[in-house]
């Protein structure tokens, strides 16, 4: 079998290269994001991995990068495309996410006598599940032969290390709109401490719609929806992300809903 290596940048340490089997011991929260870096004299440049806390932007680029405040871990992460930005929001919305890093490491492998380098897009540590390695690619480009080579080899390396692996493409338009909307409420809103007990008490007691919840609350109306949507982001409440959000949307208990009664 061809030699397979992983290059990663631990926090506060120099970049190191190890056998790919060491992926099993890596923790996303201990890693810095990487990017491909070219070094050496003209005509002899070599590609290697280099830590990249901020995205690089250049004239003529075909994707839009930036940074995202990941609320589950309190960390700002760079992303390289709009689709990768959306996948970060999905991971941040998932209450099972315990750790995350984008562009976590550089995989090096040989196929057909040629050296290949690949940096996956996202690495997640999850509660009660194996760590997850993600490649983000538009569905129209997933069948490209070069992409297929990277996906197949990365899947082999991940599974050998006990990791889950997925290739993620565009979700439905409705689901994407809902996740983007909820991410606007990922920070605790004004009045949350005062409003959340009543909102939780009513929402968990009866399967109310948003309009019914607002009518039943004594909380000032301008606090209700920001509080409700922040509770949905935290995972204490939820709604069907595959249906458009409106006043008739029914509020459901989330995976982190309190087990004891909440008194306003």
How many residues belong to the chain?
A: 264
pLDDT the model gives residue 44: 44
In a domain, 119, yes or no: yes
The pLDDT tens digits of the residues spanning 193-232 come to 999 999 999 999 888 999 999 999 999 999 999 999 999 9
In a domain, 96, yes or no: yes
My answer on whether 159 and 216 are in the same domain is no
pLDDT the model gives residue 51: 53
My answer on whether 161 and 47 are in the same domain is yes
* CATH label of the domain that carries residue 92: 3.40.1350.10
On average, the pLDDT of the chain sits at 89
Range of the domain at 237: 187-253
In a domain, 211, yes or no: yes
Identify the burial level of 164 via C-beta atoms within 10 angstroms of its C-beta, where 0-12 means exposed, 13-18 middle and 19 or more buried: middle
What single string gives the DSSP state of each residue in 229-262? HHHHHHTSEE--TTS--STTPBPEE-TT--SSPP
Tell me how many domains the chain contains: 2
The pLDDT tens digits of the residues spanning 229-257 come to 999 999 999 999 999 999 999 999 999 88
My answer on whether 245 and 121 are in the same domain is no
My answer on whether 130 and 247 are in the same domain is no
The mean per-residue pLDDT over the stretch 122-143 comes to 96
The mean per-residue pLDDT over the stretch 17-27 comes to 92
Strand ranges, E, within 119-184: 122-126, 132-136, 164-168
pLDDT the model gives residue 260: 59
Q: How confident is the model at residue 11 (pLDDT cuts 50, 70, 90)?
A: confident
Helix (H, G, I), strand (E, B) or coil at 147: helix
In a domain, 173, yes or no: no
pLDDT the model gives residue 59: 66
pLDDT the model gives residue 112: 77
My answer on whether 23 and 83 are in the same domain is yes
Q: How confident is the model at residue 43 (pLDDT cuts 50, 70, 90)?
A: very low
* CATH label of the domain that carries residue 248: 1.10.10
My answer on whether 104 and 25 are in the same domain is yes
Domain closes at, from 135, 168, 201? 168
How far is residue 99's CA from residue 71's CA, in Å, rounded to a whole number?
A: 10
pLDDT the model gives residue 253: 93
My answer on whether 152 and 204 are in the same domain is no
pLDDT the model gives residue 13: 80
How far is residue 157's CA from residue 20's CA, in Å, rounded to a whole number?
A: 7
Q: How confident is the model at residue 1 (pLDDT cuts 50, 70, 90)?
A: low
In a domain, 261, yes or no: no
The pLDDT tens digits of the residues spanning 47-77 come to 454 555 556 666 666 667 889 999 999 999 9
The mean per-residue pLDDT over the stretch 127-148 comes to 95
Residue 116 parent element (H or E): strand 114-118
How far is residue 139's CA from residue 240's CA, in Å, rounded to a whole number?
A: 24
pLDDT the model gives residue 177: 97
In a domain, 161, yes or no: yes
In a domain, 217, yes or no: yes
Q: How far is the CA of 169 from the CAs of 51, 116, 123, 128, 234, in angstroms?
A: 26, 23, 16, 25, 24
36: pLDDT strictly greater than 90: no
My answer on whether 100 and 35 are in the same domain is yes
35: pLDDT strictly greater than 80: no
The mean per-residue pLDDT over the stretch 126-134 comes to 97
My answer on whether 225 and 148 are in the same domain is no
My answer on whether 27 and 106 are in the same domain is yes
Look up the pTM and report it. Answer: 0.88
My answer on whether 157 and 197 are in the same domain is no
My answer on whether 117 and 244 are in the same domain is no
Beta strands 164-168 and 132-136: pairing type?
Answer: parallel
In a domain, 243, yes or no: yes
């Amino acid at each position: 079998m061809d030699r397979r290596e992983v290059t990663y940048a631990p926090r506060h340490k120099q970049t190191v290269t190890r056998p790919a089997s060491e992926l099993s011991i890596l923790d996303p929260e201990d890693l810095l994001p990487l990017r491909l870096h070219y070094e050496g004299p003209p005509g002899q440049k070599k590609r290697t991995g280099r830590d990249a806390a901020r995205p690089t932007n250049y004239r003529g680029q075909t994707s839009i990068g930036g940074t995202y405040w990941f609320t589950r871990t309190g960390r700002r992460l760079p992303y390289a495309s709009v689709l990768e930005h959306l996948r970060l929001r999905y991971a941040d919305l998932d209450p099972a996410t315990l750790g995350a890093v984008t562009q976590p490491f550089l995989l090096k492998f040989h196929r057909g006598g040629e050296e290949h380098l690949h940096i996956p897009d996202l690495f997640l540590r999850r509660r009660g599940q194996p760590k997850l390695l993600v490649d983000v690619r538009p569905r129209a480009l997933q069948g490209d032969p070069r992409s297929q080579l990277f996906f197949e080899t990365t899947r082999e390396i991940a599974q050998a290390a006990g990791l889950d692996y997925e290739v993620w493409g565009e979700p439905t338009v409705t689901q994407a709109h809902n996740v983007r909307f909820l991410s606007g409420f990922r920070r605790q809103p004004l009045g949350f401490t005062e409003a959340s007990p009543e909102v939780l008490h009513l929402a968990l007691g009866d399967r109310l719609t948003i309009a019914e919840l607002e009518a039943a609350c004594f909380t000032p109306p301008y606090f209700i929806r920001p509080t409700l949507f922040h509770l949905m982001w935290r995972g204490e409440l939820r709604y069907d992300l595959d249906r458009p959000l409106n006043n008739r949307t029914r509020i459901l208990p989330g995976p982190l809903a309190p087990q004891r009664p909440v008194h306003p």
